[in-house]
């Protein structure tokens, strides 16, 4: 009886410990770079020895996977908080760009894990990857409600998001040199996509 399904309370404690481990993992990854995460030190941060981590995660890759999935849940939360006003595409995009730059700058390690191949030999599991695709598709829907449907226009916009964020992170961490261009970028972009003219 006691060895079959775990009691809810036991399972909840387990999930809480997992959450503590992930929290410590983010802290260390922020300090040492996402690729510099060490299981020994991670264990130490939560008052364990390294082998005990394997009670909570199957491998280091599984920890990265959980962090990756968590990152996309957090990004979804940002997107959800954003009020989408179809009558004000520029303002909506401006706030969205700012929010994305803020999201990226809030955690370099998270940015590295989610958007760059910074961990040699690791890539997200199919499930984790599926979560990221689903997140991307929700963004597509949101932009469609702003009237942005041309795939080329959509890719151009993701370039702007990515460009402002990566420049901000790489060349003015802690500042707002590129973040403050969000309004101007949104105006430039919306003017472009609402002009009927076609590119060559």
Partner DNA sequence: GTCTATAGGGTGATAGAC
Partner DNA sequence: GTCTATCACCCTATAGAC
Residue 81 near residue 39 (C-beta atoms within 8 A): no
Contacts of 25 (CB under 8 A, 6+ apart): 37, 42, 63, 67
Q: How many residues bind DNA (CB under 7 A)?
A: 22
- What Cα–Cα distance (Å) separates residue 191 from each residue in 51, 160, 184, 188, 197? 57, 14, 11, 5, 11
Q: Which of residues 100-129 bind a second copy (CB under 8 A)?
A: 108, 112, 115-118, 120-121
For a second copy, which stretch binds (CB under 8 A), given 9-17, 68-76, 138-146, 156-164?
156-164
Rounded Cα–Cα distance for residues 111 and 116 (Å): 7
Tell me if 145 contacts DNA by CB under 7 A. no
Candidates 98, 71, 109; CA nearest to 160 is: 98
Q: Which does 156 bind (CB under 5 to 8 A by kind): a second copy, DNA, none?
A: a second copy
Residue 101 near residue 168 (C-beta atoms within 8 A): yes
Tell me if 184 contacts a second copy by CB under 8 A. yes
Residue 190 near residue 90 (C-beta atoms within 8 A): yes
Q: Which does 148 bind (CB under 5 to 8 A by kind): a second copy, DNA, none?
A: none
Q: Which residues bind DNA (CB under 7 A)?
A: 10, 13-14, 17, 37-41, 43, 47-52, 54-56, 59-61
Q: Contact residues for a second copy (CB under 8 A)?
A: 32-33, 35-36, 108, 112, 115-118, 120-121, 152, 155-156, 158-164, 166-167, 170, 177-178, 181, 183-185, 187-189, 191-192, 199-200
């Amino acid at each position: 009886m006691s060895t079959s399904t775990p009691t809810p309370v036991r399972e909840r404690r387990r999930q809480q410990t997992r959450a503590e481990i992930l929290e410590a993992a983010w802290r260390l990854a922020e300090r040492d770079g996402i690729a510099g995460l060490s299981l020994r030190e991670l264990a130490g941060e939560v008052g364990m020895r390294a082998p005990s981590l394997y009670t909570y995660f199957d491998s280091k890759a599984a920890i990265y996977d959980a962090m990756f999935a968590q990152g996309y849940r957090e990004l979804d939360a940002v997107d959800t908080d954003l009020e989408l006003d179809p009558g004000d595409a520029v303002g909506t995009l401006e706030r969205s760009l700012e929010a994305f730059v803020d999201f990226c700058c809030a955690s370099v390690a998270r940015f590295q894990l989610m958007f760059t191949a910074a961990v040699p030999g690791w890539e997200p599991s199919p499930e984790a990857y599926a979560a990221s695709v689903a997140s991307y598709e929700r963004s597509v829907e949101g932009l469609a409600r702003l009237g942005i449907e041309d795939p080329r226009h959509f890719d151009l916009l993701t370039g702007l998001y990515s460009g402002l964020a990566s420049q901000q992170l790489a060349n003015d961490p802690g500042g707002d040199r590129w973040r403050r261009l969000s309004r101007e970028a949104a105006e430039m972009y919306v003017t472009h996509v609402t002009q009927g003219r076609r590119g060559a």
